[in-house]
A = this chain, B = another copy of it.
Amino acid sequence: MDKFDRQILNAIQHDTRLTSEKLSQLVGLSQDACRKRLLKLREEGVIEQEIAVLSPEKVGRDLLMIVGVTMAVETTHEVDVFKARMHDAPEVMQCYYVTGESDFIIVLSVPDMPNYESFVREHFLSGVGVASFRTNVVMDRVKVGFALPVLD
């Protein structure tokens, strides 16, 4: 991974729709060289996904919540089951297993409060080993993305 790879990565983190042409101009390499590097970065798993980010409001998901979940008993099994549940729940945009006060931190998106209540009832309050959870309602998405500047 050299300077060129890093430049390519930094560019496509903000916009995957850049053409090979613009990308090549940006990094100072031929189009084909850029393309080959991109292929390799994808194969190696450096690039995990190429995705579209939607406006939650414009698709009727006005509520964005960030919830810290603490498990009652943190056995391997309990944790794995909970991970699987979060992975499969469509409301869950992101889920992290963490150290600290919470065991899980979850970013989730719902149309409204009743929907959030349903989610809570189904996933936190129905004997799945959740001891407690702290809810934060998002008022402003100050910064959204996974941009991860790869420094030289």
A residues within 8 Å of B by Cβ?
A: 1, 9, 12-17, 44-56, 58-61, 64, 66, 68, 83, 86-87, 90, 92-102, 104-105, 109, 134-151
Contacts and interface: CB of A to CB of B under 8 A. Distances in A.
Nearest to A17: B50
Contacts of A56: 148
A98 B66 CA distance: 8
Contacts of A148: 54, 56, 59, 61, 93, 109
A102 B100 CA distance: 15
A146 B46 contact: no
Contacts of A97: 138-140, 142
Contact of A136 (B49, B101, B150): B101
Contacts of A104: 142
Given A15-B50, A54-B48, A138 B9 contact: no
Contacts of A45: 55, 58
A115 B102 CA distance: 23
A85 B90 CA distance: 32
A31 to B, nearest CB: 17
Contacts of A98: 66, 136-139
Given A87-B143, A96-B138, A52 B49 contact: yes
Contacts of A60: 150
Given A45-B55, A95-B142, 11 more contacts: A13-B54, A14-B51, A16-B50, A46-B55, A51-B147, A61-B148, A66-B96, A93-B147, A94-B144, A94-B146, A109-B148
